[in-house]
């Protein structure tokens, strides 16, 4: 019997959307459980390290969003054909995570002075450093991040994009046609296309 999957997260795309994309790509049913911001203190003590998303697989809990993605990617055949492909995917994924963390570090700063300072380095250094490199990488790999074929690195990037754009307050891919084209490719994939059409509408 197929395992029963329950994904628990805030009612946003955020860190859970790449997981939802991967399940949808693989045609795997999952319960998309969303709790409201006010209910978080109620759920937090039941998570392994006070963080969400968590995924329950037949009741057994997995935590850490990237770990969950890699696990689901294995189930749906997007985790690389061999160790060498897997390592290339992992390196891209960790680099996307670094990029995301820098944007989050700016966005969630509650001190206006320090936030403004971070905004400067985000827009003058971080974004102009990472995005041209991502663009070049995808251009050199036949339209995908790794080895000219779809892997979970692509789904991870595209699944985060609304959240990243929301936090940055701009369309990050405006000047990057190859990355925009990768987005179209991923969003047109059977499964993901249906998911995007039916998912709850949220800004982030």
Binding stretches for its own copies (CB under 8 A): 48-50, 62-64, 66-68, 70-71, 74, 83, 86-88, 90-91, 93-95, 98, 101, 114, 129-130, 133
**Minimum CB separation from its own copies for residue 49, in Å?**
5
Torsion sign (Cα): 145, 77, 163, 178:
positive
Q: How many helices (H) and strands (E) does the chain have?
A: 9, 4
* Residue 111, burial from CB neighbour count under 10 angstroms (0-12, 13-18, 19+): exposed
**Minimum CB separation from its own copies for residue 66, in Å?**
6
Dist. CA 19–CA 156, nearest whole Å? 8
49 vs 203 by CB, closer to its own copies: 49
**Minimum CB separation from its own copies for residue 188, in Å?**
28
Collapsing DSSP to helix, strand or coil, 32 comes out as strand
8 vs 66 by CB, closer to its own copies: 66
**Minimum CB separation from its own copies for residue 45, in Å?**
12
């Amino acid at each position: 019997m197929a395992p029963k999957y329950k994904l628990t997260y805030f009612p946003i795309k955020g860190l859970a959307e790449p997981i939802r994309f991967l399940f949808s790509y693989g045609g795997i049913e999952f319960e998309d459980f969303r709790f409201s911001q006010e209910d978080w203190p109620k759920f937090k003590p039941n998570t392994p390290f006070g963080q969400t998303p968590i995924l329950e697989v037949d009741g057994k809990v997995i935590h850490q969003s990237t770990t969950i993605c890699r696990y689901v990617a294995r189930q749906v055949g997007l985790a690389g054909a061999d160790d060498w492909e897997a390592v290339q995917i992992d390196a891209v994924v960790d680099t996307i995570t670094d990029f995301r963390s820098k944007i989050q570090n700016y966005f969630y700063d509650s001190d206006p002075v320090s936030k403004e300072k971070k905004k400067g380095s985000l827009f003058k250094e971080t974004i102009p450093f990472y995005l041209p490199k991502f663009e070049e990488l995808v251009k050199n790999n036949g339209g995908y991040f790794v080895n000219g074929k779809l892997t979970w690195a692509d789904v991870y990037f595209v699944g985060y994009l609304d959240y990243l754009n929301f936090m940055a307050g701009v369309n990050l891919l405006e000047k990057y046609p190859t990355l925009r084209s990768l987005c179209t490719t991923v969003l047109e994939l059977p499964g993901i296309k249906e998911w995007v059409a039916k998912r709850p509408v949220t800004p982030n």
